[in-house]
Amino acid sequence: MNIVMHANNPDLTAQLGRLPGGGGDTAQGFYIIGADGTYYGWDNSHYLPNVIKFIDKGLSDFHKRPPAHIEIADSQLSERFSASPDATTSVVRVFNRISPLPDGCDELNKSVGRDHLWIYADEVQQLLAASNSSAQFPLPKTLVGRLVRFHLIDNVRGEPDQWQPSDIKQADFSANLITTTAHAKRFHFAAKYGQEAADHQRGQTGQLEGTFDVLTDTGKVANFRAYGKAVAWGRSTWTPGEPKGKFALVTAMVSADDPTSQVVPPQFYWGNGDGYRNAGL
């Protein structure tokens, strides 16, 4: 934040004061900064030509005013700047987008919302225990809460406001065991859900369905595949430009174990790990 406050950029200064109530520290955007802290530019545009122009100018300024040579200690290089899931936690990548796209809506609605869902080991154990019966059973409450509050959400144009427990109007998630092999148990699940803010200006209703495996040797979730459709309306504080009226929001979920999925935590995990982990309704 020291670099941010001394950037001497009027647009960034204006953004820093646009939090509700004024006087915030919303420093979101792209930065070009030398290893010694030299500031070369900031931009918060979503328009690709502007981003490319910003990068080109920052690179030019970097060559004109190279940063001072500094030594960076090995301890600093090895320091982690992101939260990683525990080895027993399963990661699912979540995509949200508006489809079909309403005519004449803001260009930002063409974007894709991306996030990571974490499924914890104790929730997997609950699934396995419930699967001893051939009947349908509810998904673990904490997993359901995490899905309906943090992931089944319009994050297409920016960072959404999380759904509060009182916003959840429906959260019916059930699963059943469909196959068992020596290496895994495969489950099917289906859901109906609905959320609406207290002022009724933002909400959605939708359905989600998919399958996943629980691997016998690791106890982790694999081959997670799910797809859902919702009808949404309204906007969050930082997701302006929403389509008028109600619009179609689709969700896709798929297992992830690539390097990126191991260093980028869920959006709502930051600053509230316990709240994300124990998302109650």
Task: Say yes or no: 70 and 114 in one domain.
Answer: no
Task: Say yes or no: 55 and 155 in one domain.
Answer: no
pTM of the complete model: 0.84
Task: Say yes or no: 12 and 46 in one domain.
Answer: yes
Task: Say yes or no: 34 and 170 in one domain.
Answer: no
Identify whether the C-beta of residue 196 lies closer than 8 Å to the C-beta of residue 230: no
Task: Say yes or no: 11 and 134 in one domain.
Answer: no
Task: Say yes or no: 104 and 184 in one domain.
Answer: yes
**Structural domain containing residue 52:** 2-75
Report the alpha-carbon distance of residue 146 to residue 31 in Å, rounded: 32
- Token pair 């936690």 in the structure block, residue: 89
Predicted local distance difference test score (pLDDT) of residue 220: 97
Spatial CA neighbour of 149 closest among 115, 187, 180, 112: 115
80 domain residue, yes or no: no
Of the three residues 75, 108, 138, the one that is the final residue of a domain is 75
Task: Say yes or no: 209 and 104 in one domain.
Answer: yes
249 domain residue, yes or no: yes
Count of the separate structural domains present in the chain: 2
Task: Say yes or no: 230 and 273 in one domain.
Answer: yes
Report the alpha-carbon distance of residue 156 to residue 175 in Å, rounded: 28
84 domain residue, yes or no: no
Question: Which class for 177: exposed (0-12), middle (13-18), buried (19 or more C-beta within 10 A)?
Answer: buried
Q: Omega of the bond prior to 100 within 30 degrees of 0, cis?
A: yes
Identify whether the C-beta of residue 147 lies closer than 8 Å to the C-beta of residue 105: no
Predicted local distance difference test score (pLDDT) of residue 80: 67
Report the alpha-carbon distance of residue 149 to residue 16 in Å, rounded: 27
Task: Say yes or no: 6 and 132 in one domain.
Answer: no
Identify whether the C-beta of residue 43 lies closer than 8 Å to the C-beta of residue 50: yes
Strand partners for 215: 184
| CA dihedral of residues 212, 267, 271, 86 (deg, nearest 10) | 30
Predicted local distance difference test score (pLDDT) of residue 21: 47
Of the three residues 50, 75, 100, the one that is the final residue of a domain is 75
Of the three residues 75, 99, 128, the one that is the final residue of a domain is 75
82 domain residue, yes or no: no
Task: Say yes or no: 248 and 216 in one domain.
Answer: yes
Task: Say yes or no: 49 and 94 in one domain.
Answer: no
Task: Say yes or no: 44 and 173 in one domain.
Answer: no
Splitting the chain (281 residues) into consecutive groups of 10 residues, what average pLDDT does each group show? 75 70 65 91 88 95 94 79 89 98 94 97 95 87 97 96 96 96 96 97 98 96 98 94 97 96 92 86 70
Report the alpha-carbon distance of residue 234 to residue 217 in Å, rounded: 45
